[in-house]
Amino acid sequence: MFDTHCHLTGDRYKDGIDSVLDRARQAGLSGMIAVAIDLSDALEAQSLAEQHPDVWFTAGVHPSEAGREHDLSSMGTLAHHPRCVAWGEMGLDGHWPDPPMERQCSLLEQQLDVVVNSTQHKLPVVLHSRKAVDDVLGMLVSAGLPGDRCIFHCFTEGPEAVERVLATGAAVSFTGVVTYRNAADVALASDRVPLERLMVETDSPYLTPEPHRGIRPNEPAQVVHIADFLAARRGMSREEFEAATDATASRIFGLHQTQ
Ligand SMILES: [Zn+2]
């Protein structure tokens, strides 16, 4: 089982990252992708990945950081590191008024420009898209980035939106949100995603899945509850579901190549 998207850097975990990683391994996880929210965070995630063979990292700037200036010149260097498995996370967040959408769009546009002009032709792009699916899809088209290189992470929209995403060839990953009783639409969306394009993630330290929703911080070990939930919806055993989604994550992020 992989946690394909978590935030492991900084002082998010009071009892230390080693305990978090130990609990993940005890829960049966074979790997975690430490997703960066900006480029200094990516460096920190890189050093974590250098110390732990079951941690990989990504390079990019989250839309919540669009209020600041970012020097994107190191993005390409980070992406060439052997343990960097994706660009991102990058995207648009229409939930909060701040940072303003124009700034988010401009930051996303600049990053997509780096991606399409990089010689790292195979690295996928982890997209953050909240209440902004159609805007993100439009920007991918403008940038000339094919949908089949993209992962719509933490999918929180309904079945119609997921169909528009799937039509581009993109993959979709689900967090603990899919297990929430008030997110029936997200669960319905998950049913539409073929296993070869479906992944699970915790987005730790946020979004703890049921049955532990109230517990914070969330951590990678909890990804098993998301897998159990989705496996049950599909009438699959956890083992079958794990094998299928692990194969998807390995293929999309090239995890086997860097181990
Ligand atoms: Zn994230």
Q: Tell me the CA–centroid distance for residue 175 and ligand 1, in Å.
A: 10
Distance 172 CA to ligand 1 centre (A): 13
pLDDT digits 0-9 by tens, 114-155: 999 999 888 999 999 999 999 999 999 999 999 999 999 999
Task: Classify the phi-psi angles of 28: left when phi > 0, otherwise alpha if psi is within -120 to 50, otherwise beta.
Answer: left
- As residues whose CB is below 5 A from the ion ligand 1, the structure lists 203
Query: Can you tell me the distance from the alpha carbon of 220 to that of 60, in angstroms, rounded to the nearest whole number?
Result: 21
- Give the tens place of pLDDT for each residue, 11-36: 899 999 999 999 999 999 999 999 99
CATH number of 2-258: 3.20.20.140
Residue 217 has a pLDDT of 96
Characterize 105-121 residue by residue with b for buried, 16 or more Cβ atoms within 10 angstroms of its Cβ, and e for exposed: bebbeebbebbeeeebe
Residue 54 pLDDT greater than 60, yes or no: yes
* pLDDT for residue 55 is more than 50: yes
Burial zone of 165 (CB within 10 Å; 0-12 exposed, 13-18 middle, 19+ buried): buried
Mean residue pLDDT across the chain: 96
- Quote the pLDDT of residue 236: 98
Is pLDDT above 80 for 163?
yes
pLDDT at 184 over 80: yes
Cα(218) to ligand 1 centroid in Å equals 12
Distance 62 CA to ligand 1 centre (A): 8
For residue range 72-103, what is the model confidence (pLDDT) as tens digits?
Answer: 999 999 999 999 999 999 999 999 889 999 99
The whole-number pLDDT of residue 258 equals 53
Distance from Cα 85 to the centre of ligand 1, integer Å: 15
* CA–CA dist 46, 87 (Å, integer): 13
The ranges assigned to domains in the chain are 2-258
- Percentage of the chain lying above the pLDDT 70 cut: 98
